Structures are given as C-alpha cells and as structure tokens.
Structure 1
Amino acid sequence: MEEHNDKQMLKLAASWFMKWVLNNKAVSILFILLLVLLILFLLPKVSFVFRPFTAFFDVMGLPIIMAGVLYYLLNPLIDWMETKKIHRAGGIALVFLIIAGLLAWGIATLIPILREQTLSLIDNWQDYLNRFISQVNGVFQSDVLSELQKQLTGDEDGFTGSISGQTEDVVDTTVTGIGSVVGVLSTTVLAVITTPFILFYLLKDGHHLPYYLMPFVPSKMRVKSYELLREMNLQISQYIRGQLIVAFFVGLMFWIGFSLIGLEYALILGIMAGALNLIPFLGSFIAFIPVVVIAIVLHPPFMLVKIAAVFFVEQTLEGRVIQPLILGNNLNIHPITIIAVLLTAGNLFGIPGVILGIPAYAVIKVVFIHLFLWYKAYTGLYDDDFNPAPPPVYSKKKQKRTLKIKRQ
C-alpha cells in the first residue's frame, strides 16, 4: 500500500513538473532568456576566439561599410538601367566611368579651392578661436554683465574664467587628437583603394544574396526570415539613400548661401554642414558653431544677421521641401527616440555611433517587431485587441500622413 502511494505521489509530482515547467510556455521563454544571458556572460571569457574576426573587421570594416553605403545609393540606378536592356556589368562600368569623370572634374576645379580654404582654416583656426574667446570675454566683462554676474555668483571672474578654461580644454583636446590623424589617414587610403572592388561585386551579385542565404535557414522559417531580411534591407536602403541625398542638398544650399553673403571659407563650411547633416537634428546646429566663430572674428556684426537668414532659408527648404520629398516618413521614428538613440550611441561608440545609430535602431526595431509577432502567436496571450485607454486624437493632416505611411 505504501509503495502504491509513493508511486502515486511520484507520478503526481512528475505530471506537475511536466505541466508547470516543461510544457509551460512562459517558463520555456524564461529558460531561453537565461541561456542567452549566460552566453553573454561567458563571451568575455572566450574573447580570444573572436580575435581573428576583430582583426578582419579592423582591416576590412571601413571598406565594407563604404561599399555598402555606395551600394544602397547606386543600386536603384543599376536596376533601372537593367530594365532598359543594359547589361548589369556594363551598367556598373558606365556608372563607374561617370563617377571617375565627376571626381576628375572635382579634382581639377573644386579640390584646389577646397585645399586652399582647408589649409588656411587649419593654419588660422587657433588665432580665430583666441580672438573669438577674447571678444566673448569682453562681452561678459562689460559693466552691466559684470555687475549682474557679481550679484548672482559673488565672484567677478568666476563665469568668465570658467568659459576661458573650458574653451582652452577643448582646444588642448583637439590638438592632442591630431596625433592620431596619420593612422586614420593610412586606413582611409587603404579603404579608398579597396572599396571600388567590393562595390563592383556588390552591385553585380549583391541582389542574389538572399537566394544563397535561404538554404541555410530551416524550411519552416524561410518565408518569415526572407520577409525579415527584405524589411531590414528596405529600412537601411531608404535611410542611407535619403540621408546622403539630403546631406548633398544641404551642403549645396549652405555653400550657395554663404557665397552670396560673402562669408569666408564658404566652400569648406558648406561641405562641413552637409557632412554633419548626416547626424539628425543636431548636425546642422553643430556645423553652425564654426560659422558663427568665423563670422564674429572676420566680419562686421551684421554678418550674423545674414547667416541667420541663410540658416532660416535652408532649414525651411530642408524641412518643407527636401526631406518630405526624399525621406518622407519611412522610418516612422519619434523625434524623442531619435535624440535618445543619438545620445546613447554617441556615448557608447563615438562618432560612428552617432552616424550609424539611427539605421541600426531601425534594423533592431524590425527584428523586435518580428520577434514580438512570433511571441504573440506562440503564447496566445494577445488574442484580444481591447484597449481601455482612450485613442489619441490626430489632426486631419497627421491622419493623412499616417494613412500614406500604411499604404507604403
């Protein structure tokens, strides 16, 4: 009798364990998460395994990234040429010849001007910055501001000294960082030589990559995996093409505007503004800093009014015309999210993180959306669409924009 009761208890415990542990979806998901965290914890212990991959990425990372960016920029043109019965390899060769011609024209016409302005700006920047600091200090040491500062802080030289000290720290850091330019330059030269070869084969065979990847994916996951890859590719391509085209037009508009108002170093400042525009929201304002320094040091005070007018016209054209036509709202990312991603990625990875943070976030967002859809279908916990919170009220303009995004 006791043996029978023991067997019965053991059977009940086994059935309970099967029901609440082995066959429980929530426990299975928690167990998988625990395994993932354990793997992440153990990765630093076996970091030597990844050293060959790190060495490979140190050498080939920049050429691959540059080739990938140019691939997304040029691939629609190659596809269009292919629809016009132009052989793909011939179309790629033709595009390369056009790019080489444009580079030769740029070297013959723009590069001398750019070189002259760049060298002059580098040679005189320290002097410009010192004169700018002295002018700012002169403003803060005026009678009215000195009295106000003394009443607020009780220290006549505290605020001015703080500004001068922080500015000098920035200058010292900048000068110290110049020592790494030689290493960066050698890596860049190697990347420039290697990139065209990688780009050629990407344009020639890159669109077949999903076909060769799918056989490595389990049969039941191929459709979902292909949809995931296609959506990730769409997000990256739209962002890269849009940002590069917008940056080109921003640089062009600033160059034209600065040239019209007679600002010194108009070409280099326009190119700088276009390049920094690759950083959403913050890039144009960062590019505005050297413009203000040069305007205050080399021009009359009224030049600041002209620069403000150029900046206003550029921001209006960019926000009202260029970005809606080129970028649209394809990424559908909230501005607060963009700022948070930029600050976090910049803190973690520096300048590359600031530039690549948004497309990386868009890809991660796509992956998490697909994972959540799988989780909903797997657990069955989200069958009911009931939402007790009141729906947001949108204007008619925003409703039309949202409807347009859904149709895309």
Structure 2
Amino acid sequence: MAGAGNAWATWRGWMTRRRTEAAAVETPDPAVHVHVPERALQVTPPPRAVAVTAPDSPPYPARPAHPAEAVPWTLRVAAEGMWRLLLVGAGIWVLLQVVGTLRIVALAFVAALLISALLEPTVSWLRRHGVPRGLAAALTFLGGLVGIALVAWFVVWQVSANLSEVTGHVNEGIRQIKSWLETGPMHLTDTQINQFSSQLTKVIGTNSDQITSFGFSTVSVVVEIVTGVFLAAFCTFFLLYDGERIWGWCLRLLPVRSRMSAAGAGPRAWATLTAYVRGTVVVAFIDSLSIGIGIYLLGVPLAMPIAVIIFLGAFIPLVGALVTGTIAVLIGLVTHGPVTALLVLAVLLGVQQIEGHLLQPLILGRAVRVHPLAVILAVACGSIIGGIGGAVVAVPLVAVTNTVVGYLRARHAVDEDVRAALTAAAAPE
C-alpha cells in the first residue's frame, strides 16, 4: 500500500507542474515586451480555389432516326455497287440464255455481219462507178456465192480424187502399226491383236444405241447448219442492199439523248469490224498457203483440202490454224510415219510463231488493238458459250466493244470540257 501511495503522489505532482507551465504560456508577463511586426499581424485570406474542369468528352450519339443512317458510308457504297452489279450480271445471264435458245438465228446474223463487212467495200466501189444500189448488192452477193461454191467444189473434188490413195496409205499405216505391235517392245501375238479387235467390235455392238442416237444428232446438226447457211445468206443480201436504212431504224429505237452517241459509235464500230475481217482474211490466206506448201513438199496427201480447212480455221485467231492443222499431222502419221508427222508439226508451229509475232501485229495491230491475252480469253469464253461459232465471234466482239467504249469515254470527256468552258464563259466577271 505504501508503494501505491507514493506513485499516486508522484503523478499528482507531475500534473500540477504541467498546469502551471500552461498557465504561464497563456498569460504572458507584462514586464516582458515582445515586438511583433504589423505585417505579421495582418491576416492573409486563404487562396481562392481554382475551378478545374474536366476535358470535353463527346456526347453519347443519339439513336439515328432511320436504320440506314447507322450503316457506315463505305459499306453503303459497297452495297449499292454490289446490287447494281448483280442486276447487270442477271441481265447478261438472261441475254445469254436467249441467245443460246436462238443460237442458229444469232450465229447466222453474226456471220452475215462478218460477210457483209468483207463484201461491203465492193458494193461501195460499184456504187461509186454508177451501178445502182440494188444491182451492186446483187452482183456482190452472187459473186460471193459463186466463190464459196467454187471453193467447196474444189475441196470435194480433191478429196474424191485422192480418196483411194489415202485409203491405201491408211491400210498401209494400219499394217505397219500391227507389225510394230508384234515386233516392237510390246511383243504382242496375232491372237492378242485379234482378241483386241473382237473386243472393240463387241463394244461397238453394245453401244449401238448410243452410236445410233449420235447419228441422229449428227443429222439434226446438219439440218441446223443448212438452215443457218440459208438464213445467213438472206441476212447478208439485205445488209448489203439496205444496211444504211436498217441502221437508221435502229437509231430511232433509242432515246433521243442517246442517239448522238450511238450515231458516232456505230460507224467506228463498223470500221473496226471491216478492218478486222479484212486483216483476218489476209492472215488466214497466208497461214493456209504456207502450211499447204509445207505439207505438199513433205508428200502428205490431200494438201489442198487441208489448206482450205486451215484457211477456215484461221478465222479463230492464234489457235485456229494450229488446231485445224492437226489433221495434217494425223494424215502424215498414218501415211508416212512419225518422222513426217513431226515435220508437219514443226511447220505448223513455225507458221504459228510467224502469225503471232509478225502477221497479227503488222496487219491487225493498228485496226484492232486487243492484247493477245484478251484474245485467248475471248476465244476460250466464246468456245465455252457458243462452241466453234462463239470462238469465231468472240474476238471481233471484243474489238468492237473496245472501240465503242473508247469513243464514248472520249466523247464524255469532250462534253465535260465544253460544259466547263460554257459555264466559265457565262459566269459574271
């Protein structure tokens, strides 16, 4: 207990001393004078608070009034172009379907256009020398028919005159092939060859129905060809006789604002077509003459009929003469063996290189400015769509389209310049 009392006394003494010191600080002694500057006695107001504003943030976009306004502009432009492209593609597809259904009529009319482009300069020459239009068209048309008939007669005459020789060469070629199968690396026997022949005969007998149907389809194709020939001849005569009035009637079917452009593009398209047909005839003649002389010197029979076929095939640029020339390669193989066939193939490839690198640029380059890649693609697309007729028509169609589009673009640019000049002249100074 005594220790607790001492501790309590000690704590009370310490607290008393603290109170005394605090009272002395709060009540200064009057005898002690402390100088305080007036500036220290002035009360400085606290600094004014500066308002700090947050940077402007874009407001949340309001919901568009129409759903189309929420679509980005680029996507809207792409969609507009796509549906228009789809409509154009659908229109082209419908047009191709109609042309495919009326294939005979379409090909006959296009053939008439090509023949008219070839014969029209003759009609113009006769009219310049005082021959009436009807008589000039009739004379030119009859002259063309006579020329075609003479060529056909010559081909038939050559084939019939050399048929026995060709048959003998074919039989000799078959005998050589049989001998090679027996004595060559295959070492076949007569029994195996006869078995193969009997199997081939059996296959032909089994598929006789298909062969018969193919024969009927061939007859129908012949009928279509004859019909197309007569229709093409009919159209050719009237295009030669009344082509200008037919073109004027076609112009009157167009809207008034489009007639001037069509009237300017039409003659240019016709000039391009005429130049193409003339140049193609020259190139085809040179190809057929060169290949015909080559295979004649090599001793291949039917050289002249093959040359005529090559002339017709050369109307398909770059590939026609080569494809039709394979007939000469096959005949050379059957009649004279593989060496002659290789030589004929070398002649074909040489003439093909001359045509592609010299004749086509020199004769057709200025009139028909179409890249060789475009020619190949056009021939491929034309053959897929319309067969041989489509392959013949494809390149002149591309050439005419190129001319028309170029003319319309140039005319549009001139119209824009004239319109800008008139606007500048009418503006007040």
Does 2:218 align with 1:181?
yes
What residue identity is the alignment partner of 1:268? P
1:5-404 mapped onto 2 (5 Å cutoff): 31=80, 34-35=83-84, 37-38=86-87, 41=90, 57-103=102-148, 105-106=150-151, 109-115=154-160, 180-299=217-336, 303-304=340-341, 307=344, 310-311=347-348, 314-315=351-352, 318=355, 323=360, 326-366=363-403, 368-369=405-406
Cα 1:71/1:128, change in 2 over 3 Å: farther
CA distance in 2, matches of 1:333, 1:174: 42
Matched residues in 1 for 2:328 and 2:115: separation? Answer: 29
Alpha-carbon distance in 2 for matches of 1:132, 1:378: 73
- Secondary structure at 1:205's aligned position in 2? helix
For each residue in 1:175-227, what CA deviation from the matched residue of structure 2 results, as whole angstroms up to 9, or x when unmatched?
A: 98665321111112222333332211110111333333333333333322222
Kept in 2, the 8 Å contact 1:276–1:283? The answer is yes
Counterpart Cα distance in 2 of 1:30 and 1:371 = 27
Based on CA coordinates, which of the two structures has the bigger radius of gyration? 2
**TM-score between both structures, scaled by the size of structure 2:** 0.60
Contact 1:345–1:353 under 8 Å retained in 2? yes
TM-score by length of 1: 0.62
Q: Which residue of structure 2 lines up, in the alignment, with residue 3 of structure 1?
A: none
Query: Which range is displaced more, 299-308 or 344-353?
Result: 299-308
Report the equivalent of 1:389.
Answer: none
**Cα separation, 1, equivalents of 2:224 and 2:328:** 30
CA distance in 2, matches of 1:136, 1:340: 42
Q: Which residue of 1 aligns with 2:10?
A: none
Give, in angstroms, the shift of residue 377 of structure 1: 8.9
* Structure 2: gaps (5+ residues): 1-61, 187-202, 421-429
User: Which range moves more in the overlay, 239-248 or 200-209?
Assistant: 239-248
Contact 1:132-1:297 at 8 Å conserved across structures: no
Cα drift, residue 136 of structure 1: 10
Give, in angstroms, the shift of residue 248 of structure 1.
3.1
Three-state SS of the structure 1 residue aligned to 2:370 is: coil
The worse-fitting range, judged by mean Cα deviation, of 346-355 and 73-82 is 346-355
CA displacement at 1:304 relative to structure 2: 4.6
Q: Distance in 2 between matches of 1:131 and 1:335?
A: 44
Are residues 297 and 277 of structure 1, via their aligned partners in 2, closer, same or farther at CA, if it must alter by over 3 Å? Answer: same
In structure 1, stretches of 5+ residues that fail to align are 1-8, 143-167, 384-408
Q: Which has the higher helix share?
A: 1
Q: 1:327 and 1:120 mapped to 2: Cα distance?
A: 40
1:362–1:379: structure 2 CA closer, same or farther, 3 Å change rule? same
Give the superposition deviation at 1:130: 7.2
The 1-side partners of 2:137 and 2:82 are apart by: 46
Deviation, 1:108, is: 5.4
8 A contact 1:131–1:297 mirrored in 2: no
Q: 1:127 to 1:282 in 2, by over 3 A?
A: farther
Shift of 1:288: 3.6
What is the one-letter code of the residue matched to 1:281?
Answer: L
The residue that corresponds to 2:35 in the other structure is none
| Aligned CA distance change for structure 1 residues 137 and 175 (closer, same or farther; 3 Å) | farther
Q: Does the C-alpha gap of structure 1 residues 75 and 362 become closer, same or farther in structure 2, counting only changes over 3 Å?
A: same
The question of whether the paired residues in 2 share the 8 Å contact of 1:78 and 1:92 is answered with: yes
Distance 2:156 2:267 in 1: 39
Aligned length: 333
* Per-residue CA distance 1:118-176 (angstroms, 9 max, x = gap): 7987x79997997898899999969xxxxxxxxxxxxxxxxxxxxxxxxx9xxx99998
Check the 8 A contact 2:310/2:321 in 1, yes or no: yes
Tell me how far apart the structure 2 counterparts of residues 190 and 255 of structure 1 sit (CA, whole Å): 31
- Confirm or deny: 8 A CA contact 2:126 2:136 kept in the other structure: yes
The one-letter code of the counterpart of 1:253 is S
Aligned to 1:350, the other structure's residue is in SS state helix
Q: 1:159 corresponds to which residue?
A: none
Work out the CA distance in 2 between the residues paired with 1:125 and 1:178.
27
Name the amino acid aligned to 1:60: V
How far the C-alpha of 1:74 sits from its partner, in A, is 0.2
Cα distance change on mapping 1:339 and 1:111 into 2, 3 Å? same
In 2 relative to 1, CA 99–231 (structure 1 residues): closer, same or farther, beyond 3 Å? closer
What does the per-residue CA deviation read over 1:92-122, in whole Å, with 9 as the maximum and x for residues that have no partner?
222234334435544655432134557987x
Cα 1:228–1:109 shift into 2, 3 Å? closer
Between the aligned partners of 1:375 and 1:95, the Cα distance in structure 2 is 39
- The percent identity for this pair of structures is 22
- Let me know the Cα RMSD of the aligned residues: 4.9
